[in-house]
Structure 1
Amino acid sequence: MAETITALSEALQANLRQEKLVLLSTIDSDSGAPTVSAISWVYAPDGKRVRFAIDARSRLVANLRGNPSATLTLFAEGSVHAIYGTARILSEALEGVPFKLACFELEVDAVRDAMFYGARLTVEPAYEKTYNKAAAEKLDGQVFAAMEKA
C-alpha cells in the first residue's frame, strides 16, 4: 500500500503560487451530487494549506458551506495531483479587489498522484483569457495579493 502524503511538496507549492488551471470538486448543497469547476486563483502559503478565490455569488460557496470536504486537482510536475481536504472561509470579500470574491482555505489532509499507471503528462493544460488582457493582469495581481494577505 502506498504511503499517504499529508503535505504539498515544494514543487507543488511553487505551482500553486502562480496562476494555474485547477479543478475544484465539491458536493452540491441541494442534490448531494459531486460537482467539478475550473478555477485559477489559487495560492499555497505552505505545504498544509491552499487558498482559492471564487465569486461570492457562486454556487460553490453554498456547496462548501454545506459540506466543507473538497478536492483540488492540479496538473503539474508531469502528473495529475489530487489534493484532499477541508475548506473554510477566510474572507467573505477580499480587500483590494474590485468585486466580491470569497476566499477559502483548504487544510490539506492528503495528496495523491491521480495519474493512471504507466503514463506521464507531457503538456499541462493551458488557457488564455478572452477579455481585455491588461484588465485581466491587473485583476489577477489584485486577487493574488489579497489571497496572500488573507
Structure 2
Amino acid sequence: MANQVEPKLIKPLYNELQKERFVTLATVDFETGGPNVSAISWVLAKNDETLYFAVDNRSRIVQNINSNKKVVLNIIANESTYSIAGEASVKSEKMEGVPLKLALIEISVKEVRDVMFYGSKIIVEPQYDKTYDKDAAARLDKQVMEAMKKA
C-alpha cells in the first residue's frame, strides 16, 4: 500500500504546527554534500503551504540552506510520522522582538508524505523538557512564537 502524498499540509498537521514542538530538519550539508539532521522546536505553520522556523543565525542550518534550499522537516503527529519536503530560504537574518540573534527561515511546502511503516501507529509522541531556567525559557519561547506569527 502506497503512503499518502499531499501537495500541502493536512489540517491535523497545520493544527499541530501552531505551537512549539519537537521536529527534525534535514538539510544538505554545505561542506560534504551529505545529509545533515537537526532537532528544532521553534516551528510554525503560517498557512498550509508555508512553514517558519527560527534558529541561531550562526547555525549550520543557515549555511546549509544558503547553499542548497532543499529541506525535509519530519514531524511525529496525528498518530503517524510525516515528511514535509520543500524549499527553504532565510526570510530574516535577525528576528525583531527577540533578544537572541535568531534567523527566521521560511519553507515553501512542496510535498507532505505519511512515512509511517505499514500497519502501525504512534501511540506516544516525543516530549522534551527545558533544562535551563523554566521562566526564562517560557518567556523566550513566547517571544519567538509571537515574532513568527507577526512575520
TM-score by length of 1: 0.97
1:142 aligned partner: 143
1:1-150 pair list within 5 angstroms: 4-150=5-151
Q: Distance in 2 between matches of 1:28 and 1:45?
A: 26
1:148 is displaced (CA, Å) by 1.0
**Is contact 2:74–2:83 with CA below 8 Å preserved after alignment?**
yes
Give the letter aligned to residue 74 of structure 1.
I
- Large movers: runs of 4+ above 2 Å: 1-4
Consecutive unaligned residues in structure 2, runs of 5 or more: none
1:4 is displaced (CA, Å) by 3.3
User: Aligned-pair RMSD on alpha carbons?
Assistant: 1.0
Instruction: Please list the CA deviations of residues 84-114 of structure 1 after superposition, one character each: whole Å capped at 9, or x if unmatched.
Output: 0000111111001001000011000000001
Change (3 A) 1:2 1:78: closer
Amino-acid identity (%) = 46
Secondary structure at 1:12 match in 2: helix
Consecutive unaligned residues in structure 1, runs of 5 or more: none
1:19 is displaced (CA, Å) by 1.0
Q: Distance in 2 between matches of 1:27 and 1:8?
A: 22
Instruction: Count matched residues.
Output: 150
1:58 is displaced (CA, Å) by 0.5
Give the letter aligned to residue 49 of structure 1.
T
